[in-house]
Amino acid sequence: MDNTSTSDIVIINGNSHPDLANMVAERMGLKNGGCSVFHKSNRETIVEISDSVRGKDIYIIQTGTKDANNNIMELLIMAYACKTSSARSIVGVIPYLPYSKQCKMRKRGCIVSKLLAKMMCTSGLTHIITMDLHQKEIQGFFDIPVDNLRASPFLLQYIQESIPEYRNSVIVARNPGVAKKANSYAERLRLGLAVIHGEQKEAESDEVDGRYSPPPTRNSTPQHAPISSSSRQRTTSVSVGVPEHPVKVKPPLTIVGDVNGRIAIMVDDLIDDVQSFVAAAEMLKENGACKIYVLATHGLLSSDAPRLLDESCIDEIVVTNTIPHEIQKLQCHKIKTIDISILIAEAIRRIHNKESMSYLFRNVTLED
C-alpha cells in the first residue's frame, strides 16, 4: 500500500486462515513472516518464528474456526513468543473472535469472552483488530484498544450490484434481536423492513441465568424493623414469599411486515447452525417472497449446515472470508464469498502509521 513504511512490520499467522493472511500481506506489499505453528504427537502446540521481531510491530492474523480451542492457543503462544522476543507492539488481527456469543452470564456458568479477553491481554497483545463482534460491549472486556471493523459496506455493495431489482426487496430480521441491524440496512438502502416474531429456537435472553431460583422459605426470611403506620399506608404488600416470575410463552412464527411478491434479504452477523434460517425462509416463502437471500459477516457453517442450506428454499447465502469455508462451498453451490482483506490491510496500515481509524467507520451508526 502507498505511504507505508513496511521495514518494521512483520505479519505472521497461525493455522486458522493462512489464505486470508497471505491476501492481506500481498495487498500491503509484504511477504508473510517466517512463523511455523505445528502440533506434537501429544497435541501440544509449538511455535517457531524464524525472522527477527526485536523492536518491530507484529501483526498476528488468526481467526476463529470450528477448531476454536486450538486457534486460541496458537494465538496466545504466538503473542507470548513475540513478547519474550522483545517485539515493540503485538497486534492480534482476529476477524472472527471465538466465544463471542458467550458474553452473558448463564446459570452456574461464566462470561467466557471476558476470560478470553484477559488471556489475550496477559499473553502480550497490545491491540486487537476484529470485525462485527456479536455484542459491541465485548470491547469493554479488554484492557487494550479494540478496533471493531464493519463488514456492512461490503454487504450493502453486494446487494446493490449483485441482486437484480434489489429495489423490490425487503430487509428481514429473523428474530427481534436482529431488528436493529436489519433496520440499519433498510435505512441505508431505503427499503422496507420485516421482522419474524415467535422464534422456535429459544432466544439467548430467555435462557435460564439463575434469576429464577426458588425464593427462600418464609422461616429463613430476615426480620426487618417495624414499619410506621404512615409508611404502611403507602406500601403495597404481596402474598407470602417472593412472587413467581411469569413464564414467557412465545407465539407461533409470524411476520411483521409485507414480503408478498418481494425479494427477502435476511441479515445477521453469524451463520452457524442454520435451522433457524431455514425455518425463517420457509415462513417467508409461505408468505409470498419470490426470492430469499441470507447475508452475514461470518460463515461458520458448522455440522451439516451446507446440506441443510442446499436443500432449503434459500436462493443464495453470502458471507465474507473472515472464516475459511471452501469445503462448505463445495458442498453447497449457493454459498458466495466477499473478500474483506482490503479492509484489514487498510486497518493495519492506519494503525502502523498512527493515522485515524475514523475513515473506516464513516457513516456507521450504533446499530450496524
Give me the CATH number covering residue 58: 3.40.50.2020
Q: Are strands 35-39 and 335-338 parallel, antiparallel or unpaired?
A: unpaired
Give the up-direction half-sphere exposure of residue 321: CA atoms within 13 A in the CB hemisphere: 21
- Indicate whether 206 belongs to any domain: no
Give the up-direction half-sphere exposure of residue 323: CA atoms within 13 A in the CB hemisphere: 28
* Cβ neighbours of residue 347 closer than 8 Å, sequence gap 6 or more: 129, 147, 149, 357, 360
**How would residue 366 be classed by pLDDT, with cut points 50, 70 and 90?**
very low
Amino acid identity at 341: S
- Indicate whether 3 belongs to any domain: no
Considering the domain architecture, whether residues 14 and 132 belong to the same structural domain is answered as yes
Considering the domain architecture, whether residues 65 and 185 belong to the same structural domain is answered as no
Considering the domain architecture, whether residues 48 and 179 belong to the same structural domain is answered as no
Considering the domain architecture, whether residues 87 and 26 belong to the same structural domain is answered as yes
Residue 114, domain extent: 9-149
Percent of the chain with pLDDT strictly greater than 70: 85
Helix (H, G, I), strand (E, B) or coil at 173: strand
**φ, ψ (nearest 5 deg) of residue 56:** -110, 165
- Indicate whether 359 belongs to any domain: no
Considering the domain architecture, whether residues 286 and 176 belong to the same structural domain is answered as yes
Considering the domain architecture, whether residues 76 and 158 belong to the same structural domain is answered as no
Q: Which of 149, 179, 214 is the last residue of a domain?
A: 149
Q: Which of 116, 149, 182 is the last residue of a domain?
A: 149
**How would residue 199 be classed by pLDDT, with cut points 50, 70 and 90?**
low
Considering the domain architecture, whether residues 300 and 257 belong to the same structural domain is answered as yes
Give the total number of structural domains in the chain: 2
- Indicate whether 165 belongs to any domain: yes
Considering the domain architecture, whether residues 109 and 181 belong to the same structural domain is answered as no
Chain segment 61-114, per-residue pLDDT in tens: 999 999 999 999 999 999 999 999 999 999 999 999 999 999 988 888 899 999
- Residue 265 CA to residue 171 CA, distance in Å, equals 5
**How would residue 5 be classed by pLDDT, with cut points 50, 70 and 90?**
low
Considering the domain architecture, whether residues 126 and 169 belong to the same structural domain is answered as no
- Indicate whether 78 belongs to any domain: yes
Considering the domain architecture, whether residues 143 and 168 belong to the same structural domain is answered as no
**φ, ψ (nearest 5 deg) of residue 319:** -135, 165
Amino acid identity at 133: L
User: Is the distance from CB of 209 to CB of 110 less than 8 angstroms?
Assistant: no
- Residue 210 CA to residue 9 CA, distance in Å, equals 48
Is the overall model pTM greater than 0.75, yes or no? yes
Considering the domain architecture, whether residues 47 and 165 belong to the same structural domain is answered as no
Considering the domain architecture, whether residues 311 and 191 belong to the same structural domain is answered as yes
Using CA atoms of 23, 298, 134, 159 in order, give the dihedral in degrees to the nearest 10: 100
CA angle 41, 45, 50 (to 5 degrees): 115
